Amino acid sequence: MSFFALKNGVLHAESVALPAIAEQFGTPAYVYSRAALTESLREFQDVLKAHPAGKGALVCYAVKANSNLAILNLFARLGAGFDIVSGGELQRVLAAGADPKKVVFSGVGKTAAEMKLGLEAGIFCFNIESIPELERLNEVAGQCGKQAPISLRVNPNVDPKTHPYISTGLKEAKFGVAYEHALDLYRRAAALPHIAVAGIDCHIGSQLLDPSPFVEALERILALIDQLAREGIKLHHIDLGGGLGIKYKADQVQPTVASYLNPLLDKLQGRGLQVVLEPGRRLVGNAGLLLTKIEYLKEGEGKNFAIIDAAMNDLMRPALYEAWHDIDPVVPRTGDAREYDVVGPVCETGDFLGQARPLCIQPGDLLAVMSAGAYGMAMASNYNTRPRAVEVMVDGDAVHVIRQRETVAQLYAGEQVLPV
């Protein structure tokens, strides 16, 4: 179900018309739907509850997708855990009310200080990605008088069939340890005094619309688990990572959570392993949009441009990945459409949110950049000294500001000029 829909010719978020949000809070603005966020998490929880292998499973939201405290708090209240990749994200989820025993700490570059934070908080597990990281964690845990629960992130070398920047389980990736070296590394981990081997982790990529690579990866991981068991190294959980994609284009088919998870759970049945998942984009991507206003329509010799008040600093994905987002008029007009590049005011040729879009529009019209809930505000910057957008959450007919719009003064408040 979409919680962003036209009603009486006006695009709404749940029961609130988007023009009312623009009038009250200005543009650009990120707009999220509480109902959409809730439904996306419950889809995972319901599939897991219905399968014997899903008993006791932990859904750890990947905080990097969207780290707003209101979103984190909502998921925590619904029983989710969290997948973090920095000490800052750990402090965020704790501030949002997360249970530290439901937090997994991923990432290739954990500092000693970040490891100490995780140990002191009592997190569920550290996902280890190299031998030096393992040895550092053992040392830090010893200094803290603790044992660190770990899983190894193993690269199964499976092609996820997605954008190369978000393919993470291949041999060439900076993430994880090579499949061929994993057994030796587990032996090393089991011998360290301040390390507790708890599980295994695998994350092959992001925005996968074909679930079949997940099955291929799991089959390789299960073979490794059996090897470990023969050597007396018993694992307690398997972290299947995230990566399930969402529908960005109207003509795309979005795989269901059941079609993704059930084949994996079938293979795990009877093994006694707790299942951990790390969805990010799938939980928040289609639960948010970027609301923006057209400032000018500019006719060029080769192209027409719709110049809006949002820009690449607000939504980086199109410039970074050439990613597609549907761009819909908030109040559709009747008449002939013209083709426009939808661009922002940032001083870069790559500052576009969409190219060659057929639109019937006028200056002052509002546009909704759809499917912007993931890797939108989380990747936003202040390039060109542009304050970041306001964020609001719609809950039925109520609208709540969950992050105030920045001011220019805030951007340079921490700076100072040199003395004379």
pLDDT tens digits, 36-61: 999 999 999 999 999 999 999 999 99
Mean pLDDT over each residue of the chain, to the nearest integer: 94
CA dist 128 and 152 (Å) reads 5
Residue from 74, 119, 124, 120 nearest 99 by CA: 124
Q: What is the pTM of this model?
A: 0.94
Res 166 pLDDT > 50? no
Catalytic residue among 60, 125, 144, 347: 347
pLDDT (0 to 100) of residue 41: 98
- Percent residues over pLDDT 70 in the chain: 96
Average the pLDDT over 208-235 and give the result. 92
- Tens digits of residue pLDDT in 275-334: 999 999 999 999 999 999 999 999 988 899 999 999 999 999 999 999 999 999 999 999
pLDDT (0 to 100) of residue 176: 83
The token pair that represents 238 in the structure block? 């398997």
pLDDT (0 to 100) of residue 160: 55
CATH 2.40.37.10 domain extents, the chain: 4-32+285-411
pLDDT (0 to 100) of residue 22: 98
CA dist 137 and 133 (Å) reads 6
**Residue 304, SS3?**
strand
Helices (H), 97-249: 112-121, 131-144, 179-191, 212-230
Banded model confidence at residue 161, pLDDT cuts 50, 70, 90: low
Give me the CATH topology for the region 34-280.
TIM Barrel (3.20.20)
Sequential DSSP letters for 3-53: SEEEETTEEEETTEEHHHHHHHH-SSEEEEEHHHHHHHHHHHHHHHHTSGG
Candidate CATH numbers 3.50.50.60, 2.40.37.10, 2.40.160.20, 3.40.640.10; the one for domain 4-32+285-411: 2.40.37.10
Residues 6 or more apart whose Cβ sits within 8 Å of residue 102: 58, 60, 80, 81, 82, 124
CATH 3.20.20.10 domain extents, the chain: 34-280
- Beta strands at 125-128 and 29-33: parallel, antiparallel or unpaired: unpaired
CB–CB of 245/25 below 8 Å? no
Banded model confidence at residue 170, pLDDT cuts 50, 70, 90: very low
Residue 271's H or E segment, with its range, is none
Tell me which of 46-60, 147-161, 316-330, 397-411 is least confident.
Answer: 147-161
| End-to-end Cα separation, the chain, in angstroms | 62
Res 178 pLDDT > 80? yes
Beta bridge partners of 399: 394
pLDDT (0 to 100) of residue 173: 63
Sequential DSSP letters for 47-93: HHHTSGGGTT-EEEEEGGG---HHHHHHHHHTT-EEEESSHHHHHHH
Q: For residue 125, indicate whether it is catalytic.
A: no
- Tens digits of residue pLDDT in 348-374: 999 999 999 999 999 999 999 999 999
